[in-house]
Structure 1
Amino acid sequence: MKFAVTYSTPALGMDPQRLVEFAQHAEACGFEGLYVPEHVALYRGASLSGFELPTTLEYADPLDLLMYVAASTQRLLLGTAVLLLPYHHPVTLAKRLATVDVLSKGRMRLLTVGLGSLPGEARAVGVDFATRGRRTDEAIDVLRLLWSGGPDGVSYSGEFFEFEDLTSYPHPLAPLSIHIGGSSRAAARRAGLRGDGYFPGGNLSPAERAAQWDLARETSTRDTLEYTRWASTDLTPEALNSYEQQGVTRLVINPPSLDALTAFAHRFNLT
């Protein structure tokens, strides 16, 4: 089992010293990587799971934040949970992700993308909320195409994106895995058809969670499909065994303090 942490700027704040201290401590404790969330913009009435989001929540740009983390750590892998892919143009995003990967010496390895669930956020960036699934599928294809293209360029013609003989350098140091985040069967199917892994949300019943993971595996043509889940900082060895039996390959915790990070690492002998 692999273990990672998340750093949420709305909860933990934007103080750069605190961010660096958190990331360096997570690395010293033996955690594999650090995830950050994304919201491009908020507005009055925006809500998630029935909870209205305060408009003043500080959501940092995830890739800029991860580049800052990379500069102050040595081996910590960099991740998003989730990057809202339909709100980014894949041609510019391919460049940004590859740049982070090269400058971090190959650590942009935990990229998880999702569709977003706030209609007003989609409108703000000029995206039809109803098309964000199809747009995401195309964006994944475009990212991989650009990263694999040679000096003569690559071409693409789809519903949302089109270009001819395009090159995008630098390439990532190794092909970037793209994990799919979400809490729906459509997300699970997308993980199987286009993803390298599935990272479902936390508000699912055990039966629905199992059904989605089965769907992801059944639709996948890959030899391996990673399965990432959220876990409590109070995780017990018995609960860990249950996750392993479900096929989970990575657990991500949201620690309230550095002491909680330390206690978790000691409990599972991460260092």
Structure 2
Amino acid sequence: MQLGVSLEPPRWPAGAGGTVLQTAVRAEQLRFDYLLMSDHVLASEGGATLDPLVVLSAVAGATGRIRLATSILALPYRHPLIVAQQAASLDVISGGRFALGVGTGWNPEEFAALGLEPRHRGARTDEALTVLRALWSGEPVHHRGRFTTLDGVRPATTPRAKGGPEVWIGGQSDAALRRALRFGDGWHGGVSTAAQVHEARGRLAALGEEVGRDAGELKLSSVCFLVPPGFEPEVPLPGAPLGGPGASRAQLLDALGELGAAGLSMVSLWMPFGALRLVEAMEWVAAELLEPLRPVKVIEG
């Protein structure tokens, strides 16, 4: 199982450009597998919330190995032609290291600010995913849908691989799981225990029979909230912590091992710290959790 880290402390301080890239480079040095960023378009207290596609593009240029993903891009906020162009560009710039994690969005204030109806978010997302796949095919796209009309359109940038970057679908509802089966290369959830992973896999298997897709084809990943031992959260956790409240190193290792055994291929760690403390927490995770989870290579002869 791979480990990622959310490149998103509670908020970045003003003028944090250099700090963001330094944090990303340090994550690569520490041998994390993924850097991930979520998506917000309205201001909130505490500092800057940076655009994920802009930041990950800069990170792609500053790093050479670590993989990048949105976790999660609110797809209804953007025209699918723009997303197709941005994602293909990031796929090219990163050398194929980018995965587009998408969801329907949830914040009614953001929908209102963008002039969008929240009740249309599922339909918009489904149509946008259909259009994205068509735009990445390399063929001119003719599409007349409820929200998007294209007449022989071909995006300016062709993705590195035919079919485009990997697409992960976020969400816990049956509609989200169906969407992952219909459109996704992976499902990106919010589960933090082996029991929750097994429950999600069971639902995916049942829904896969309904939509005609083998659920075993999907990569499964999740966001987990982590407070390393000896660290004090700077903001409240949005959900239950990995390993339970006050989990020890041994309990965290057990929890991650159980998640991997249950079927997760990647866990993205969201840690409730500001920029400087985030690096310290990453260093603890790398030394105490990441290294013990790496398989030992046996060289014969």
Amino acid at match of 2:126: D
Distance 1:160 1:31 in 2: 39
Distance 1:130 1:57 in 2: 30
Could you list the per-position Cα deviations for residues 203-257 of structure 1 after superposition, in whole angstroms to 9, with x for gaps in the alignment?
x897666433322244342552111122335463211221023211101112442
Could you list the per-position Cα deviations for residues 98-139 of structure 1 after superposition, in whole angstroms to 9, with x for gaps in the alignment?
111112222222x21111111121122122110110100010
Per the alignment, residue 87 of structure 2 pairs with 97
Cα displacement (A) at 1:34: 0.6
Q: TM-score, normalised by structure 1?
A: 0.85
Unaligned ranges ≥5, structure 2: 229-248, 296-301
Q: Pairwise CA RMSD of aligned residues?
A: 2.4
Per the alignment, residue 80 of structure 1 pairs with 70
Distance 1:252 1:208 in 2: 16
Cα displacement (A) at 1:201: 2.5
Larger radius of gyration: 2
Q: Does residue 259 of structure 1 match 2:280?
A: yes
1:95-244 correspondence runs (5 A): 95-109=85-99, 111-150=100-139, 153-174=140-161, 175-201=164-190, 210-220=198-208, 221-222=213-214, 224-231=217-224, 232=226, 234=228, 236-244=252-260
Distance 1:57 1:131 in 2: 31
Cα displacement (A) at 1:265: 1.8
Deviating beyond 3 angstroms after TM superposition, the runs of 4 or more aligned structure 1 residues are 54-57, 204-213, 217-220
Unaligned ranges ≥5, structure 1: 43-53
1:44-63 correspondence runs (5 A): 54=44, 58-63=48-53
Q: TM-score, normalised by structure 2?
A: 0.77
Distance 2:184 2:69 in 1: 15
Distance 1:13 1:118 in 2: 23
Per the alignment, residue 50 of structure 1 pairs with none
- C-alpha spacing 1:207/1:104, structure 2 compared with 1 (3 Å): closer
Q: Is the 8 A contact 1:9 1:60 kept in 2?
A: no
For residue 263 of structure 2, give the secondary structure of its aligned residue in structure 1: coil
- C-alpha spacing 1:38/1:243, structure 2 compared with 1 (3 Å): same
Distance 2:84 2:92 in 1: 12
Distance 1:26 1:205 in 2: 25
Q: Is the 8 A contact 2:12 2:48 kept in 1?
A: no
Distance 2:116 2:263 in 1: 35
- Percent identity over the alignment is 31
Distance 1:148 1:177 in 2: 13
Distance 1:9 1:263 in 2: 16
Deviates more, 1:213-222 or 1:132-141: 213-222
Amino acid at match of 2:42: A
